[in-house]
Structure 1
Amino acid sequence: MSIKNVLVAYNGLPGSGAALHGAVTMQKFFNAHLTGLFAHGGSQLSSQIKPWMPKRVKEAIMEVENQSNEEIENSFREICADVPADKLHWIDSDGPVQQTVASYARLFDITVIGMHETSDKPGQSHIEIYPDRVTFDSGRPVMIFPAGYRGSVFNNKAVVAWDGGRAAARALADAMQILETEVSVEIVSVGRSPLAGSLPGLNVEMVLDRHDVNVSIKQLDRTRKTIADTLVDYCDTSGAGLLIMGAYEHSPLREGLIGGVTHDIALHAKIPVLMSH
């Protein structure tokens, strides 16, 4: 089944701008529907409204907030100027950001999000998105874009981080339509062969070969670097345009407290990352 329904979480920050440019490219490639979602629940401005305030004061506060929301929608539509009108959609939600994005993501083929970032404007924490948590909560594939990235995830080189686990297998399946477009795909593992522990008669290299993917296998040396740093550095030096990996094979709480591959890559990757849980 082709990708026909793409969601992009857009909040006007640089990371979401990169995500939107990537989502527009995806829309054109698959002739898909593209929906922009601006989730902004619990803003500090609207929380200043008190029951005792005069009506005109309440209206003035809401006018300022609505103006900001309209500017974000206008920015979205400007970047999407080449998307056909019948394929372009916009949702403005005042629900809790993480919960809202994850809930909508469950209804889309893929969700595109900018890397987590903090606005340089005060009072904007209510629009911040943690894409790795959206991956965990939604159960759907999420593609994360670093701020400023403008390359294409198609017709390029992709790296698949493979450990044979459930999350990695899910990510591989979710990414297959994109992998089939790539010039080359490299399956990598850190500290062991990606084919270690393969089942008799079948392995991940053979699976991709059956999809007519130009696939190769690479074992990355285990050093004093973290696995996340090893993967990020390898993608950077090898010229990869997309990293595909499973998310949160360990619990998000554990990774958030002591660090982990998902958490660290979601914050430090230099290229788009497709994650699935």
Structure 2
Amino acid sequence: MDFKTLLCVMTDADVSVPSLSQAMALAEAHDAHLDVLALGVDRSQTGYFYGGADALLMQEMLKRAHDEAEEIRKTAEAKLSNSGLRWACDIGVAQIADLGRHVASRARFSDLVILPKPYGKNCGTELEPTIEAALFEGQAPVLMVPESVAPMTTPKTVCLAWNESAEALVAARAALPFLKMAETVHVIVVDPPSHGPNRSDPGGLLSQYLARHGVNVQVDVLSKTQPRVSDVLLRHATDTDADLMVMGAYGHSRFREAILGGATRNMLEHAPLPVFLAH
């Protein structure tokens, strides 16, 4: 499979520009069609109004979201107009509680969704549910793009987090176009179970599967020398000078990760490199 339909959801004219640049670079590299959704979000409430609320207040909030969507559309079209790419740009307005439906309806028919890092300075509350909607309701892989990273088209070194889970396998399969282009793919196994079915060859079956697709694979078995698995993964990505991290998303429930933390949440917060996620 190749990436032939890309989706970039923009909910902020400034924060989303790096992800749009990344999406444009991938569209050119893969000869893909790029869809852009300029989405104005009403962040002021949770999908309903208390009894007796003035209808003018609702109208004003939705008008503000629509104006924001128009501003985002103009920003996107200014970058796309002379790019030579095949693209389309639609606008939409959503209350934050209904955000998932709008994102998922477009993500379902996309090969890859390119989105900005959801946590950090100037990041709105809508960015996290946008990623979750693409992964869960849209059933599409997501490429999370940090703000300070230059657009990536052909990764030389990829780190693939492997823990035998269904999510990790889905991510590995979905990321094959990137993995086949890379010079080296490091399959990272952190503290493999001593009594598991693959204890004598952790990551071996995945490496065999990838190698048959022409991927140059190297298995790296690491000890959990830091409190969080995500810290071990990020340190190894730095040590190998990786261009891309591939991992399964939300092996635990989203609620558990929101309260107690988890590899996905921590990676989305701290990753300095693009992260390819699938669930």
- TM-score exceeds 0.5: yes
Give the letter for the 1:253 counterpart: F
Return 211-220 or 109-118, whichever deviates more: 109-118
Name 1:244's counterpart in structure 2: 246
**Identity across matched positions, percent:** 23
Equivalent-residue separation in structure 2 for 1:151 and 1:225 (angstroms): 31
Give the letter for the 1:113 counterpart: L
Name 1:159's counterpart in structure 2: 159
Give the letter for the 2:233 counterpart: L
1:236 aligned counterpart, secondary structure: helix
**Structure 1 runs not aligned, ≥5 long:** none
- In structure 2, do the counterparts of structure 1 residues 51 and 222 end up closer, same or farther at CA, with 3 Å as the change threshold? closer
- In structure 2, do the counterparts of structure 1 residues 14 and 161 end up closer, same or farther at CA, with 3 Å as the change threshold? farther
Equivalent-residue separation in structure 2 for 1:119 and 1:166 (angstroms): 33
Equivalent-residue separation in structure 2 for 1:73 and 1:52 (angstroms): 25
The answer as to 2:263 corresponding to 1:276 is no
Residue correspondence of structure 1 range 12-91 to structure 2 within 5 A: 12=12, 14-44=14-44, 50-51=54-55, 62=63, 66-84=66-84, 87-91=86-90
- In structure 2, do the counterparts of structure 1 residues 100 and 8 end up closer, same or farther at CA, with 3 Å as the change threshold? same
Name 1:174's counterpart in structure 2: 174
Q: CA deviation at 1:219?
A: 1.0
Equivalent-residue separation in structure 1 for 2:40 and 2:161 (angstroms): 33
- In structure 2, do the counterparts of structure 1 residues 238 and 90 end up closer, same or farther at CA, with 3 Å as the change threshold? same
Equivalent-residue separation in structure 2 for 1:110 and 1:52 (angstroms): 39
2:42 aligned counterpart, secondary structure: coil
Name 1:264's counterpart in structure 2: 266
TM-score by length of 1: 0.84
**Structure 2 runs not aligned, ≥5 long:** none
Provide Cα deviations, 1:211-261, integer angstroms capped at 9, x if missing partner. Answer: 111111101221232001111222123210101011111111111110111
- In structure 2, do the counterparts of structure 1 residues 200 and 269 end up closer, same or farther at CA, with 3 Å as the change threshold? closer
Q: CA deviation at 1:208?
A: 1.3
1:250 aligned counterpart, secondary structure: coil
Name 2:255's counterpart in structure 1: 253
Equivalent-residue separation in structure 1 for 2:73 and 2:263 (angstroms): 34
Equivalent-residue separation in structure 1 for 2:67 and 2:56 (angstroms): 24
Equivalent-residue separation in structure 2 for 1:235 and 1:82 (angstroms): 35
Provide Cα deviations, 1:160-217, integer angstroms capped at 9, x if missing partner. Answer: 0011111111001100011111111110011138xx7349997111111111111111
Provide Cα deviations, 1:60-108, integer angstroms capped at 9, x if missing partner. Answer: x93x6544332211211233244336x1111211133233213321111
**Does the Cα contact within 8 Å between 1:162 and 1:188 map onto a contact in 2?**
yes
Give the letter for the 1:88 counterpart: W
Q: CA deviation at 1:141?
A: 0.6
Give the letter for the 2:220 counterpart: K
1:225 aligned counterpart, secondary structure: coil
2:181 aligned counterpart, secondary structure: coil
After superposition, the CA RMSD in angstroms is: 3.1
Residue correspondence of structure 1 range 180-191 to structure 2 within 5 A: 180-191=180-191
TM-score by length of 2: 0.83
Residue correspondence of structure 1 range 188-207 to structure 2 within 5 A: 188-192=188-192, 197-198=197-198, 203-207=205-209
2:148 aligned counterpart, secondary structure: coil
Give the letter for the 1:218 counterpart: D
**Does the Cα contact within 8 Å between 2:117 and 2:268 map onto a contact in 1?**
yes
**Does the Cα contact within 8 Å between 1:15 and 1:146 map onto a contact in 2?**
no
Q: CA deviation at 1:129?
A: 4.0
**Does the Cα contact within 8 Å between 2:161 and 2:189 map onto a contact in 1?**
yes
**Does the Cα contact within 8 Å between 1:105 and 1:140 map onto a contact in 2?**
yes
Give the letter for the 2:207 counterpart: E
**Does the Cα contact within 8 Å between 1:159 and 1:242 map onto a contact in 2?**
yes
**Does the Cα contact within 8 Å between 1:19 and 1:145 map onto a contact in 2?**
yes
